[in-house]
Amino acid sequence: MKKAWIVMLICLLAVLPAAGLAEGLDAEEMLPAAPAQKLELKTVFQYMPSIKPLSGTGLVLVESKEDNTLGVFTSKGEEVLPYGIAAVNVLTNGFLSVSLDKEAVNGLAIYKNDGTKVSDYAYGSITVYDSRWVAGIVLADAPEGEKDLTVNKVNYLIGQWDLYFVSEEGVSLVASLDRQQFASAKQHGDYISIQNRDGETTAYDRQFKPALKELKDVKTSYYQVKNYQIISKLTNKAIAFGFTEVAEADLPTRSVLIATALGLDGEKIQGILDTDGNELMPTEYKVVTMGDPYVVVANASGLRGLYSLAEHRLVVPCEFTNIVASTTSVNQYVNNGYVCVEKDGLRGFVDARTCTVTCPPAYNSRIAKAYGSSIAFDGETGFVLIAGDGTRTELHDVTEIPATNGDGTLLVAKKNGFYGMIDWHGNEVLPFIHKTVITLTFDSQSIIRTSTGVELDEIVGR
């Protein structure tokens, strides 16, 4: 009889899913077999000391198991920067600061997210103006009581300011200025205004040729309104008519103009033009927040919507008090085709493809956390998941939904003491067999999980 029980136990172990042993679970801790529907994964890295997603990008920072240096890779495992790095920081507008020695005062290099090298390891501070203009600052010791900037709680003077222009054609070092020649700067599309320490401000083009002089300061616009005409100071020519005010707006890849006119009721309304005067958005709204390609706008009643400069139309009607910006994804507003909106403190969704409300605002923004195209909150009888298409799912057996990166179509959850993943309709897509929390990359392309070491798995087919 004893022998028969042993044979039965061996047979039972043979049919248990291999995934159940991935993290060293004891037989008595084993969970039920994974459901039929699950993610198809392709292992990219395995047994690594650490893998971390780089915020707001589709990149991951991987620690080498040979020498513990760092390398930068795409979420699919393609090399962007090889191992050998000591530290990487995500800057704005697609730039990275990279160091080989974290203790070096002037040891930072500038790279693009795609691995394009902008500078050598020569700077103590980096200033990104937009996706084209970026500057590296060589730090110099500051006498007692003086400083231009503070880095790691130490005061420094600017020893040298190097300005780069980055485009599809390549990278060019536009200028190298000393402290007297540089005090501040601001980009204006393909031009940049620089003020020296005598207070003189000049606008330069990308070849560093002076284009405008005697500007009041670096913020002074290159455009003005005279007799309801928008005049370019660069050409002294009118580019648009019928406006009372104009302001520049600097987007990551271009500069545009916010042009103001008076409506029939005497109220101010705004449109958006390119720098040649071509209409990008009709003069019908008020601009709340500029972005590219999406602009948060408001109607005469102050209700907000979302306008696409690329599609030349509203993708969210002006019916809401807030358009929720995503902090978990590479996309700020539209994720999986949906936009999270608020009306009087309640959250819902709009389908950006049809400009229709798919989930009327009904969920308190104080507890309903937005993850791209879904929101989740801990309700009275368990977690509640709301998908952008309006599907509501009660997750009675889920005890935690930790902060999740990505577009909201996949979420990390915890059940029976173990972590797994669900889709935005609550379907289990990765079994709940993980002792430690799973991390999704910001582009929703891969997951990072711990078994023996840290593993990166690409989600195949997304």
Q: Reduced to 3 states, what is the DSSP secondary structure of residue 198?
A: coil
Contact 254, 292 (CB under 8 A): yes
Count of Cβ atoms closer than 10 Å to residue 347 Cβ: 25
pLDDT in tens, 245-288: 999 999 988 999 999 999 888 899 999 999 999 999 999 999 99
Give the up-direction half-sphere exposure of residue 59: CA atoms within 13 A in the CB hemisphere. Answer: 25
pLDDT tens digits, residue range 347-401? Answer: 999 999 999 999 999 999 999 999 999 999 998 888 999 999 999 999 999 999 9
Token digits for 127? 């200033």
CA torsion sign for 234, 238, 240, 244 is positive
| Inter-residue contact 251 to 258 (CB < 8 Å) | no
Give yes or no for a contact between 331 and 315, defined as CB atoms under 8 angstroms apart: no
Q: What is the Cα–Cα distance from 91 to 250, expressed in whole angstroms?
A: 17
- The pair of structure tokens assigned to 280 is 């990008």
Strand 322-323 with 338-343, pairing: antiparallel
> What's this model's pTM, rounded to 2 decimal places?
0.88
Going through 299-399 in order, the beta strands assigned E by DSSP cover 304-308, 313-320, 322-323, 338-343, 346-351, 356-364, 369-371, 374-379, 382-387, 392-395
Kindly state the helix (H) or strand (E) to which residue 10 belongs, with its residue range: helix 2-15
Q: 29-74, pLDDT tens digit by residue?
A: 333 333 436 899 999 999 999 999 999 999 999 999 999 999 999 9
CA-based Rg of the chain, rounded to a whole angstrom?
27
Buried b (16+ CB within 10 A) or exposed e, 438-451: bbbbbbbbbbbbbb
Strand partners, 203: 193, 212
Cα 277 from chain centre: 30
